[in-house]
Amino acid sequence: MLASQRSRGFTLIEMLVVFAVFAAIGVISSRIVSSVIANQAVVAERGQRLIEVQRAMQIIQRDVMQISARGVRDQLGDPLEPVLIGADGLIEFTRLGWRNPLAQRRADAQRVGYVTEEGTLYRAYWPVLDRTPDSEPVLQQLLSDVEQIEFFALDATGDEHSFWPQAGTSADDPGSRLAAVVMRVDVAPFGTVERLWPVPAS
């Protein structure tokens, strides 16, 4: 009677089963925690990347929406159109509203362009409108990991052009008037981003 009432301890097999269960729970928990940490890192990286892309879009939008009809002269003294889109798909134009907090002796208009080099997008601007032989653009880095970027001109009739200005059009032709600028950029990890910005009526 006393022997039957005596409490029986765990056997070795039962202890091994318990240890195996705890080990499995520990492995699963560790994987869950690692997955959560990795996901948080990806989300933080994507968020930072999105901020970089949005900042670049805001700068380009600010420039495009202040396009001016003022042409300039290049280093050789030849005239350049107010807005140029070339075979490389990149754009150069004159914009108004160049802030001058230091009251320097310069124009309020600015000649800007966008160029790419080794997958990085730069904003280029010239300190003067009509260039001299030694005029060099100042480059500001805007966006890294750019696979491709192209600008297009939208005329007053709604037609899209990969070159601007259009040859053989008269001043009275709606196809000669720039209505908007379209930008398409392939940027990791978001793929193709497209923006359309209207330009001021000249």
Looking at per-residue confidence, does 104 or 178 come out higher?
Answer: 178
Banded model confidence at residue 31, pLDDT cuts 50, 70, 90: confident
Half-sphere exposure of 172 (CA within 13 A, CB side): 0
Res. 43: pLDDT tops 70: no
**Which domains can be identified in the chain, with CATH numbers?**
61-198 (3.10.610.10)
Query: To the nearest whole percent, how much of the chain has pLDDT over 70?
Result: 88
Instruction: Give me the pLDDT at residue 101, please.
Output: 63
Model pLDDT, residue 7: 54
Task: Choose the weakest-confidence range: 35-44, 68-77, 102-111, 130-139.
Answer: 35-44
Q: Please write down the long-range contacts of 133-137, taking CB distance under 8 Å and 24 or more positions apart.
A: 133/75, 133/76, 135/75, 137/113
**E strand intervals along the chain:** 72-73, 79-80, 83-85, 91-95, 110-117, 120-126, 138-143, 146-155, 160-161, 178-187, 191-198
- Report which of residues 116 and 13 the model is more confident about: 116
Q: Shortest CA distance to 200 belongs to which of 169, 171, 174, 178?
A: 178
pLDDT > 70? residue 38: no
Backbone angles phi, psi at 200, to 5 degrees: -60, 145
What pTM was computed for the model? 0.76
Residue 151 has pLDDT above 90, yes or no: yes
